[in-house]
Structure 1
Amino acid sequence: MSITKLSTELLQKIYESCDLIDALHLSQTSKRHYSVLRGRYLPILGRALNNSYGPIPSLHKLVISSEPEKKGRRAVGTEIRRNALVDRIVQLPDDAPLSIELMTKMVSFGRIASEWVEIFPQFRWRIDYKNRRFLKAHEQQRMRRALYHYWTYCNLFHDQIYTQFDPDFPGERRPRDPRLRLVRTYSTIELVQLSEFLKHVVLLIETDLYPSNSVIEASHNFSPKAVAKIAWGYGAGYRYLVDDLLKYSPLDLLYLFENTYTKTERAEYLIAQGLAFEDAPATLERAISCVSFERQALDPTGGLKNLFYPALTPRSHMAKQQENVRYGIADYEGQDGYLEDDPYNHDGDRSGVSQS
């Protein structure tokens, strides 16, 4: 049967299974298809947007975190403003209404996430490269969600204003720290996937973008002079550099990975961030650790116990923490098949997740 003879209800079902580009292209094939789209314009586009760039709740929170701070008549401290922004984010319902303006902003971030989805297999199977493959649909959702969480944290707490206001690490002695308040809203499964994404970012910096002297010397037989032209140092000074570079957003990292090739180009990009960029380290990893310790204190099974990344471990060194293998961004080939209703799926059990 020709698609032109399908009922309106069936056409709407087709629209709901399309991604954003396919839905827009389908609407352009005939006046009837366009009228079907217009009949349920926002719901159909919202579903298509989720299919392309979801999960929508995490993407919506990223958009909020990227909004410029409004200047009022009265001076308001950085802590008050950031706490107010965190309040907006953590109180946002998953089914918040979407406007065309909001979806347009979501698309701009979603496109960056899609580029990360394409290159992520290079990092996920960096060691086990013989099994490298494209991410499945539910794995792409996990990947995008981890990226959105990472990016939201960068926008809120790794910018120059906040790092100058509070350059110290979050800790248990400051339970109302806005950084901890944000991270507490993530389920344990989300924290594990975010931690895995963060580990891949660290490897991207240390191996591909800003390698240390030891990395270059281990892979090439270069003279010390040649190593100095490529590498970025060693020891404590290099560790401080990596900690600073972890404040880069996914957009920064993507640009550096795809458009820079020499130490000079990457040094110029780093200098362009300003001197204040190197004054304070990234704090996301510490925030995740603090929240994990809190959950372990309340529930021994609630934290990131025996954290294990099969993506970063040679097959000959595989441990027995199979329960943690299930948490990863990409399915491990040795685990059971993906089941949407499994409590350890890409959404996970959100019981006990703090909203404060």
Structure 2
Amino acid sequence: MAMQDLAPEIMVHIYESLSSVSDIISLSLTCRYFHELLPKAQKLVLFFAALDKEMGPLDDILQLLTQNDNQMLHVRRTPPLSFALLTQAAGVGRVAARFVGLYPGFRWTGPESVSRRFLDDVEARRLRRAVYRLWGYTQAFYGKSASSISRLARSDTSPAGERLPLLRSWSTEELYELEDLRCTLEQLLATEICPTDGDVWCRLPEEARHVPLSLQHTFASHVPTLQDVFYNSRDTLVVDRTKPSVQELRFKHMQGWGSDLQNFYVIQSFLKFSPAQILWLYDNAVSKADVEKFIQSQTYDPCFLESGSMLFADWVTVLLARGVDVQHAREAVWDGEAGIVLDG
């Protein structure tokens, strides 16, 4: 029996069983009958249900997309569903999906790399939830929507009346997930975007290590040529094997950001960026100049590097108020006893 001959009720059940937006679209485009079987309103509900399975939690995506200056951040919002909102939600979900792929490489490093593995569905959902919540936090307090809050106020305790209720609305286990993501982003930034002078020195060829620090960048970097980044379509098969990746170019060209202590404070400043902005840096920034231009274009703040994210301080404040031993909690996250991945 052809699928077109199945009863409409069975076809509806088939639609409801699909777990991704692309699957629903593919089935809908198979023929006119499948395309017109469901009204748009019903199909929209199915799209959002599939999005929740594939990129959810959907509710956290909607909280991120509906932030505004007229409502308290910790008050849950239930916007009307629309195809425009679906498009925005899918874009946010794709960013979180990239972090699901990147997480193992920065979560298990050094000797722990032998334990590296893909995340299962439950772990991936926890990670995406942490991404959406971190994104909402940075967007509210460091993004353009927070322009009315002065830069000095962000390092003060006065905005805590907005920040702390947001964190208090999440469970302790969900706060552990947030800290797990924050630590992983620190590792990503320290490794890829903001290496120390010592890290860059170790990357230099042996003959360059005796050169004064002020001249070492001539050995570590050069202006990338078009051949480094682009290629002619006629030579695709040849060049694809040899064309260096952004990470390989960055390994050669990125300059150091100072000592270990200086690097720590620089990373705390970068944690004011949203996950989408950090992902852009990971995918595109090759040199320190690239990163500095990005900071200027995104923040218009010449003092961006002088203040760090308040997320960790807020995290500590909320957990202490709940009677949680913060140091023990952080060790549990590092050891895989709490957070996104529960190794135990």
Q: 2:317 aligns with which of 269, 279, 290?
A: 290
Shift of 1:32: 2.8
Cα drift, residue 307 of structure 1: 2.4
Unaligned runs of 5+ in 2: 221-254
Cα-to-partner distance string for 1:72-102 (whole Å, 9 max, x where unaligned): xxxxxxxxx4xx43x2x42226x76422232
Could you say which residue in structure 1 is the equivalent of 2:153?
Answer: 166
* Counterparts of 2:150 and 2:268, CA distance in 1: 13
Partner SS for 1:146: helix
Identity, % of aligned positions = 25
Distance 1:122 1:11, change over 3 A: farther
Rounded Cα–Cα distance in structure 2 between residues aligned with 1:201 and 1:169: 24
2:107 and 2:115 mapped to 1: Cα distance? 10
- Aligned 8 A contact 1:27 1:33 in 2: yes
Instruction: Output aligned runs, 1:68-83, within 5 Å.
Output: 81=69
Task: Give the TM-score normalised by the residue count of structure 1.
Answer: 0.73
Deviations for 1:137-178, whole angstroms, at most 9, x for unmatched residues? 2222111110000000010011362352612244xxx69610
Where do 1:201-212 residues align within 5 Å?
201-212=185-196
**3-state SS of paired residue (2:30):** coil
Q: CA deviation at 1:63?
A: 0.3
Instruction: Report SS of the residue matched to 1:257.
Output: helix
Q: Mapping of 1:299-338 within 5 angstroms?
A: 305-308=328-331, 325=337, 327-332=338-343, 335=344
Alpha carbons 1:169, 1:283 under 8 Å: kept: no
**Deviation at 1:105?**
1.8
Name the structure 1 match of 2:97. 114
Question: Which residue identity does 1:157 align to in structure 2?
Answer: F
Please tell me whether residue 213 in structure 1 is matched to residue 240 in structure 2.
Answer: no
Counterpart amino acid of residue 105 in structure 1: Q
Instruction: Find the counterpart in structure 1 of residue 295 from structure 2.
Output: 270
Q: Deviation string for 1:43-71 (max 9, x for gaps)? A: 21111121222101100011013x5xxxx
- How many angstroms apart in 2 are the aligned matches of 1:22 and 1:121? 27
The corresponding residue for 1:241 is 266
Q: 1: CA distance between counterparts of 2:13 and 2:113?
A: 39
User: Separation in 1 of the partners of 2:109 and 2:4?
Assistant: 47
The residue type paired with residue 144 of structure 1 is: R
- Opposite residue 58 of structure 1, the aligned amino acid is D
Q: Residue by residue, what CA displacement relative to the aligned partner does 1:197-239 show, whole Å, maximum 9, x if unpaired?
A: 0001111111111111233345655525365562110154433
Which amino acid in structure 2 is aligned with residue 190 of structure 1? E
The answer to whether the 8 A contact 1:20-1:51 is kept is: no
Residue of structure 2 equivalent to 1:21: 22
- Cα distance in 1 for partners of 2:203, 2:12 equals 55
Counterpart residue number, 2:39? 38
For the 8 Å contact 1:37–1:44, the answer to whether it is kept is no
2:284 to 259, 275, 281: 259
Letter in 1 for 2:153: D
Q: Secondary structure at the match of 2:322?
A: helix
Output the amino acid matched with 1:286: A
Whole-Å separation in 1 of the counterparts to 2:260 and 2:54 = 43
| Residue 246 of structure 2: aligned partner | none
For 2:216 and 2:319, locate their aligned partners in 1 and report how far apart those are by CA, in whole Å: 39
Q: Which amino acid aligns with 2:339?
A: G
Count of matched residue positions in the alignment of Structure 1 and Structure 2: 295
Q: Show the counterpart of 1:78.
A: none
C-alpha distance in 2, partners of 1:195/1:26? Answer: 40
What residue is the counterpart of 2:162 in the other structure?
178
Distance 2:122 2:262 in 1: 40
Name the amino acid aligned to 2:104: P
Which residue identity lines up with residue 179 of structure 1 in the other structure? Answer: R
Higher helix share: 2
The corresponding residue for 1:98 is 81
Contact 2:168 2:318 (8 Å CA) reproduced: yes
Q: Taking structure 1 as reference, are residues 163 and 136 closer, same or farther at Cα in structure 2, changes over 3 Å only?
A: farther
Residues 216 and 227, structure 1, Cα contact 8 Å, conserved in 2:
no
TM-score, length of structure 2 as denominator length: 0.76
CA 1:203–1:176: 2 relative to 1, 3 Å: closer
CA RMSD of aligned residues (A): 2.8
Counterpart of 1:343?
Answer: none
Deviation larger for 258-267 or 248-257? 258-267
Moved more, 95-104 or 195-204: 95-104
Deviation at 1:2, TM superposition (A): 4.6
Structure 1: runs of 5+ lacking an equivalent: 68-80, 313-317, 319-323, 336-356
Pick closer, same or farther for the CA change 1:50–1:304 going to 2, 3 Å: farther
